[in-house]
A = this chain, B = another copy of it.
Amino acid sequence: MEYRFSDKLAALKPSAIREIFKSLTDPEIIAFAAGNPAPESFPVEEMAEISARIYKEMPVTALQYGTTEGYTPLRKAIAERQKKKFGIGIFPEDGRSFSDTTVIVSGGNQGLELACKAFCNEGDVVVCEDPSFIGALNSFRSNGAVTLGVPLREDGIDTEALENLLKTERRAKLLYVIPTFQNPSGITTSLEKRKEIYRIALKYGVMILEDNPYGELRFAGTEVPTIKSMDTEGIVIYCSSFSKILSSGMRVGYLTAPEEAMQKIVVAKQVEDVHTNMFFQILCFRYMTEKNFDGHIADVRGIYRKKCAHMLACLDEYLPAELKYTRPEGGLFVWCTLPDKIKMDEYVKRCLARRLALVPGSAFTPVQGAPCNSVRMSYSTENDERIERGCRIMGEVAREMLDE
């Protein structure tokens, strides 16, 4: 049988990260490549305790079909918390021209994919930061959308280049940004640039898809308001998730968007998986309302504060000055840019030969095959000793290549 596959998946390679992730089952390899949260961040005992009560108190609700929009108490709890903590969401009682609604999705990645499905025809353009999150890029591509990149600077996307692109790009439908502790760069977009991004998107009639999976994980610097909190016109779809604060394996995320846009997104979700796992939706709700949710998040932040500080100290010690890397104020990632003399692919290969896994930066370019001489590192899953060893390998390989 010769299979005739659809065109939109033809160009789509399995995610480089996922493939590397599979190889990471080898415990000898130091996993700077993983994007997994720290396993010690999962509140196992509390989740077990809540689970036992769900089986006792509401087993049928937890095990039966639910509505596509998600478990209503969880949707409300998220909406209220976001409003209070981040100023996100226009409520009906705010008396604006639109109101926002929050729905549950099966992990943040599904939220991004659904937003694209709701808005993009084949050939439509999603404008992305360059570099950007590979999972999102592939989700956009799987809908036949074309991903274009705008360079990411130290304080966020190059807004001048963004405006120039939107002036001429008639097929742009979505602007995808991760303004806080960006994946893969660790960069946080400044307040000024966030305002400018909002202004430009509004001017050119492009929806903003704001992805904020790491927003709760600030361990240094000061909070910057989300773009969604500035959304007076209903042009921002906001996506976040419990993956980095409770559990990634349960696949529970959420979207907040104007009611009218959300209706389409809900239809798009219904035809994918009908609804998200009910049991864990209830578990998230109970965790938020019955446990010390903010206290737990503070603990998780503490874990990453330590790990990141340790990685940065090791990089400072071991890397030659020619290698430049970001100093994130939160999240999971450091982005290291190599000097021209060190070719990224070869660097990644030599590090892997010494049992250190990095993600090649080329995985994150919106335009496939575009040049990129950087690598992504995560400090989330390894212990101090292995983080130091990994940084030492990075330094040794770099020196070796600089000397050749």
User: Which positions in A face B, CB cutoff 8 Å?
Assistant: 1, 3-9, 12-15, 18, 21-22, 35-37, 39, 42, 44-45, 47-48, 51-52, 55-56, 59-68, 98, 106-107, 109-110, 113, 117-122, 124, 135, 138-139, 141-143, 173, 205, 207, 233-235, 243, 247-251, 258, 260-261, 263-264, 266-268, 270-280
Minimum CB–CB distance for A69 against chain B, Å: 9
Q: Among B5, B12, B21, B258, point to the contact of A65 (Cβ < 8 A).
A: B21
The docked-state distance in angstroms from the alpha carbon of A48 to that of B65 is 18
Query: How near does chain B come to A4, taking the closest CB pair, in angstroms?
Result: 7
Bound complex: CA A110 to CA B251 (Å)? 15
A9-B264, A12-B267, A138-B270 as given contacts; A55 in contact with B48, CB under 8 Å: yes
On chain B, the residues within 8 Å of A65 by CB distance are 21, 35-36, 243, 248-249
Question: Which single member of B6, B45, B55, B109 contacts A121 (CB below 8 Å)?
Answer: B6
When chains A and B are docked, how far (Å) is the Cα of A52 from the Cα of B54? 12
A355 vs B64: C-alpha distance in the bound complex, in angstroms?
Answer: 22
Q: Which residues of B contact A278 (CB under 8 A)?
A: 249-250
Residues of chain B contacted by A42 (CB below 8 angstroms): 59-60, 63-64
| Contact in complex: B267, A9 (CB < 8 Å) | yes
Interface contact B39-A60, CB-CB below 8 Å:
yes
Contact with A18, one of B68, B106, B124 (Cβ below 8 angstroms) = B68
Q: Note all chain B residues with C-beta closer than 8 A to A266.
A: 14
